[in-house]
Structure 1
Amino acid sequence: MLTLNLCKPLAWGRIFASCFLAITLAACNTVPKPPLSQTASASSQQRLQTLAAVKQFSLEAKLAVQYNGKGYTARLDWQHDGQEDHMRIFSPLGQQVALIHRTADSVTLTDQAGKQHQASDVASLTERLLGWRLPLAGLSQWILGIPHPASPYQASYLPGGEPATLTQDDWRIEYDDYQTASIKGITASLPYTTRLQQQDVRLKLVIQHW
């Protein structure tokens, strides 16, 4: 699966479990949270309109995955635009273990051995090959701290108008911190730590570079 050998997820787990544990334990530190609002303010709506105009971005992030009692970490290099996604996943040692390429028609995952696997969507492909679902269709908006427009959602908001939580497509998304950054000439407050959970799958992305 998403391992040095995609057919042996436990081997990857043994190699990276200590790294995942460090990330998980760091997340256990509690800090006081500001009061939240369940209603989008004018600043929330303006922020949503601004970031909805972002159609392209590139980012590097740390990725932690937990499912079925297993924990993995990786580094993610993601290039996104409205028509395509290129997502490269690296081990903490810098070895590429998977390449995900999405087009308007299909998704291809190339494993470490160079074998290509195809499906109609990323979530089903990663669940089949890696054991956990990567919600790429929504993630391209969630990573910006906004919902995608294709389905209903619920949110709670920070005093500055940024979402503290989103619930959409049966995923719960939590944001730990925001920083001001620029993407393609658009400057906004962007989340730097994003947590996603659906049933037993938990993902954590920590932005290193936009």
Structure 2
Amino acid sequence: MHKPKLQSDGFLPRAIAVRFFLVGLLSISLGACSTTQVLSSSQANQTRSLQEQVQLVGRISIQYQQNDQAQTASAGFEWQQAPQDLHISLSSPLGQTIATIHENAHGARLEQAKQEARTASNIEQLLADSLGWSIPIAGLKGWLQGFDIQANGKAIAIPVKDYVALQSQGWQLQFVSWQADTGVIHPKRIDLQRHTEELGEVKIRIVVDEWK
């Protein structure tokens, strides 16, 4: 199956940018762009629960190998999560909407301007059908809140400490920093890494800019 080639250079053509997002969910400069509020010990130790309704805005980057050369691509995203519904909006570094992805009980749908919509039974299947491999969307539903959801559905709270590392769903994760927004304690930055046949060593960085 023919797989699209990714491009770097920040501002991505629409079709390529969508595929980049589907392949991996912040450029190298993200760490310099973000500021993190230092949490008090009482905040770090407070009881947390997995929320059913989540809305946040952030940035994402992926580093990968193509033709034996290191590549980097980046995008902004808005994530709106409900128990049976997930909506993701992808934007270019200049703030232009590139595509929207929606998943509910009926399946997943990807839409972008001037192109036919693509559908599948779920987002991860949509990614696999489009690119031949997928990313852990199901995992991100918990990780973005600071939880790891087990195979039995149990949500395990990740300790609110900088640089906490764990393995889940075939990924190496590091919760680099945390922040409090509107009374909610959540990860500020998450790094993911795994080896793939398609893109070699893939490194993903997610920074949450705003929790709504």
Q: Which moved more, 1:123-132 or 1:65-74?
A: 123-132
- Structure 1 residue 110 displacement after superposition: 1.2
* Equivalent position to 2:49, from 48, 51, 75: 51
2:75 and 2:131 map into 1 onto residues whose CA distance is: 13
Number of equivalenced pairs:
175
Alignment of 1:80-99 (within 5 A): 80-99=81-100
Structure 2 partner of 1:20:
27
Structure 1 partner of 2:40:
none
Structure 1 partner of 2:108:
107
Distance 1:172 1:112, change over 3 A: farther
TM-score w.r.t. the length of structure 1 is: 0.69
Structure 1, unpaired ranges of 5+? 13-18, 28-42
Structure 2 partner of 1:4:
13
1:172 and 1:156 map into 2 onto residues whose CA distance is: 17
Structure 2 partner of 1:175:
175
Structure 1 partner of 2:186:
190
- Structure 1 residue 118 displacement after superposition: 1.2
Structure 1 partner of 2:60:
63
Secondary structure at the counterpart of residue 29 of structure 2: helix
Structure 2 partner of 1:38:
none
- Structure 1 residue 5 displacement after superposition: 3.4
Secondary structure at the counterpart of residue 141 of structure 1: helix
- Structure 1 residue 161 displacement after superposition: 6.3
- Structure 1 residue 123 displacement after superposition: 2.5
Do the aligned residues in 2 keep the contact of 1:133 with 1:201 (CA within 8 Å)?
no
Q: Which has the larger helix fraction? A: 1
Structure 1 partner of 2:38:
none
TM-score w.r.t. the length of structure 2 is: 0.68
Residues 133-155 of structure 1 show CA distances to partners (whole Å, capped at 9, x for unaligned) of 332111010011110132599x9
Do the aligned residues in 2 keep the contact of 1:146 with 1:163 (CA within 8 Å)?
no
Partner AA of 2:29 in structure 1? A
2:56 and 2:82 map into 1 onto residues whose CA distance is: 12
Structure 2, unpaired ranges of 5+? 7-11, 21-25, 34-43, 196-200
Do the aligned residues in 2 keep the contact of 1:122 with 1:135 (CA within 8 Å)?
no
Query: Percent of aligned positions with the same letter in both sequences?
Result: 25
Do the aligned residues in 2 keep the contact of 1:96 with 1:112 (CA within 8 Å)?
no
Distance 1:90 1:157, change over 3 A: closer
Alignment of 1:115-130 (within 5 A): 115-129=116-130
